[in-house]
Amino acid sequence: MQLLGQQTINGIALGMVFALFAMGFSLVIANLSVFHVAHAAVFSWGAVFAWDLTDRFGLPLVVALPGAALLAGVLNVLCYFVLIRHLDSRRDKELAAFISSVGGGIILTELISKHLNYVTVRLPDGLFPIRSWRVWGLQISSIQLLIVGVAGVTVVLLGLLMTRTQIGREVRAVAYDRELASMLGVGATSVSALVFFLSGVLAGVAAVLIALAFSQIDSRQGNAYLVLALTAMVLGGFGSVKGVVVGGLVVGLASSYTTAYLSSGYRNVVIFGLLMLVLVVRPQGLFAVPSSEIRV
Amino acid sequence: MHTSDDLLSLTQVTIRYGRVEAVTDASFSVRPGEVVALLGANGAGKTSLLKSISGLVPVAAGDIRLRGSSILKKRPEIVLRSGIAHSPEGRRVVASLTVEENLELTGRASRRRATRADLLSGFEECYELFPRLFERRQQGSGLLSGGEQQMLAIARAIMARPEVMLLDEPSMGLAPIMTQSIYAVLSKRTGTLGEAAIILAEQGASLALTLADTACLLKRGEVVYHGPASELTAEQTVAAYMGTAEERQAGSPASP
C-alpha cells in the first residue's frame, strides 16, 4: 500500500511533465495541422539552455527556469519561420512540414551534441535545495512539489490565456478556421508564430523540470519524451486541455507503477498496451472534443 | 474609372482559378452609404468577386481601390482594418467560441486601439438589431440555429465598424421566415448598417432588389448590367440567370 502511494506521487509528478510537453505539441497541431517533431529537439535545447544559464553564467534557478523557457520559445518560433512558414502554399503542406520538421529536429539534436562536446552534463548541485518530507509514511521531495507546482501554474495560466484574452480568442479562431479568422481581422501568421512561442515555452519548462528531477541532460532526451507525450495526447483525446492533462497523468502513473511492480523494461509495453486498449474501447480518447469545437 | 465620390471601385477585375476564369473584366463602383445588389446565378462569380475585394483570392488582372488607393495584395486582416468587413456565405461562425466571443474577437482584431467603451457600444448595437443574439450571447455559436448563425455573421461585420460591408448570400439555406426577419433588420439602415455601403450578393434577386440602390448583374463572370436597381428589368434578370430567349430556344443555355 505504501509502495502504491509512493509510486502514485512519483507518477503524478512525471505525468505533469508529459502533460506540459504534450500540450505544446497539440497547440501546434490545432493551429497548423503540422506534426512538429522538432518539438523534441526544442525540449532538449530547453534543458541545455538551463545548463548554460546556471552552470556557465551562474544564474539562480528563478532566473534560469523562465530564461530557458523563453529561449526555447524563441527557438521554436525560429523553427516555424525556417522549417514551416514558407510551405504554406504547397498543396501537401502538412506532409512537407512534417518532413521539414524531422530534418530540423535532427540538425538541432546534432547541434546539442556538438555544443555539449558529446558528453552528458548535469545541472549544478545545490541549484534547487533537495529536501524530502514524510507525510503518512510517504516520501515527498521538494523537486516533486516544484514540478507539480510549476506545471500546475503553467497549465492554469495557459488556460486563462486561451479563455480570457483576445490572444486566446485569436488562437482559437485560427485553429478553427484559418481563412475565416483572417476575414475577422486576425493575422494568421503572427498567431502561428505566437503559438510556436507558447509551445516552445511549455517544452522548455518541461525540460528544465526533467533536468532537475533526473539530473541528466543529453541531446536525445527529448525524443523519448516525445513518444510518451504523444501517447498522453491521443489517450486524453485530442483538442482538450483537460484531456491532455489527464492523459499525461495516466501515462506518468502507468510508467511509475510498471517500474515499481514489474520492471522498467516493461514500461513501454504497458504504456502502449494501455493506449491500444483505450483506443479500442474509446477510439475518441478519454475526453474527446468534437472536431468542430477544438479549443486548445 | 475611379471618380472622386466613389468609396470602392473595381476596374476590369479578372479572377482565375488555374485555367478557369471565374470573373472577367468586372468593373463597378460603390459610393458611400450605397447598397449594391450583386446578382447572378450560382457560379456567376459573386463570391469570387467579394473574396477578391477582401484579399482572399488573388486578382489576375485589374485593380480594386478603396478611397482611391489600391488594396490589391493586401492581406485580409489588413483589408478589414482599412474598412471593409466581409460576412462570408454559409454563415461561417467560429463554432468553438461563444456568440459574444465571436463579436469581441472581431471588435478587437479589426481595430487595434478598440477601447472597452467601443466594444460595449458595438455589442449594444448588435444586440439591439438582433435580440436573439443577446439571449444566446454566452452560448457556443456552434449550437445556434442557421438563422441565428447568419445574424451573428452580420453582427460580427458590424463590430468592425466598416465603411463597406460585403454580405455574401445572407439568405442561403434559411427558412423563408428567417430570411424575412434578417432582411427586415438590414432594411432598417440605422447605425453602422445605415452609414456603411453594402454589397449584397444574392441569388434571389427580388428580395435583394427591395433594399438596393444599384444593381450589378453577373453572368458567367461578366457584368451584364450595372445601374439603378429600379431600372433592372425582369427580362434582363431572367436572361442572366437562364440565358436569353434565343439561347433558350436554341436549347443550349449553358454554352457561352
Contacts of residue B156 in chain A, CB cutoff 8 Å?
A: 184
Q: Which domain holds residue B133?
A: 8-250
Q: Is residue B103 part of a domain?
A: yes
Instruction: Write the pLDDT tens digit of every residue in A84-139.
Output: 999 988 889 889 999 999 999 999 999 999 998 888 898 888 888 888 999 888 88
pLDDT of residue B236: 82
Name the grid cell of B139: 452560448
- The DSSP bridge pattern shows strands B197-202 and B164-168 to be parallel
Q: Which residues of B175-206 are buried (b: 16+ CB within 10 A; e: fewer)?
A: eeebbebbbebbeeeebbbeebbbbbbbbebe
How distant is the Cα of A163 from the closest Cα of chain B, in angstroms? 9
Q: What's the structural domain count of chain B?
A: 1
CB contact under 8 A, A172 and B80: no
pTM of the model: 0.88
User: If you average pLDDT over residues B94-115, what whole number do you get?
Assistant: 92
For A87, B27, B63, B66, B223, the CA distances from B10, given in Å and listed in that order, are 31, 5, 6, 9, 11
pLDDT of residue A292: 44
How many residues make up chain A in this entry?
296
The answer to whether B161 contacts chain A (CB < 8 Å) is no
CB contact under 8 A, A182 and B75: yes
Q: Is residue B1 part of a domain?
A: no
pLDDT tier at B255, thresholds 50, 70, 90: very low
Q: Is residue B3 part of a domain?
A: no
CATH code, domain carrying B133: 3.40.50.300
Instruction: Write the pLDDT tens digit of every residue in B225-245.
Output: 999 988 888 878 877 887 776
Percentage of chain B with pLDDT > 90?
Answer: 75
* Mutation target among B77, B84, B168 for the A interface, most CBs of A within 10 A: B77
Q: Is residue B2 part of a domain?
A: no
pLDDT higher at B137 or B252: B137
For A194, A200, A263, B215, the CA distances from A169, given in Å and listed in that order, are 13, 20, 45, 37
List the beta strands (DSSP E) in chain A: 132-135, 138-141
- Rounded to 5 degrees, what angle do the CA atoms B72, B74, B79 make? 105
pLDDT of residue B190: 85
Q: What is the ipTM of this complex?
A: 0.89
By the 8 A CB rule, do B200 and B167 touch?
Answer: yes
Q: How many Å apart are CA A99 and CA A115, to the nearest integer?
A: 24
How distant is the Cα of B116 from the closest Cα of chain A, in angstroms? 12
How distant is the Cα of A185 from the closest Cα of chain B, in angstroms? 4
The secondary structure of residue A293, as a DSSP letter, is G
On the CB side of A127, how many CA atoms lie within 13 Å of its CA? Answer: 28
The secondary structure of residue A121, as a DSSP letter, is B
Q: Is residue B37 part of a domain?
A: yes
**CB within 8 Å of B171: residues ≥ 6 apart:** B179, B182, B183, B202, B204, B207
Q: How many Å apart are CA A144 and CA A130, to the nearest integer?
A: 10
pLDDT higher at A101 or A284: A101
User: If you average pLDDT over residues A199-225, what whole number do you get?
Assistant: 90
User: If you average pLDDT over residues B182-188, what whole number do you get?
Assistant: 92
User: If you average pLDDT over residues B210-227, what whole number do you get?
Assistant: 92
Largest CA distance in chain B: 62
By the 8 A CB rule, do B90 and B167 touch?
Answer: no
* Mutation target among A162, A183, A186, A191 for the B interface, most CBs of B within 10 A: A183
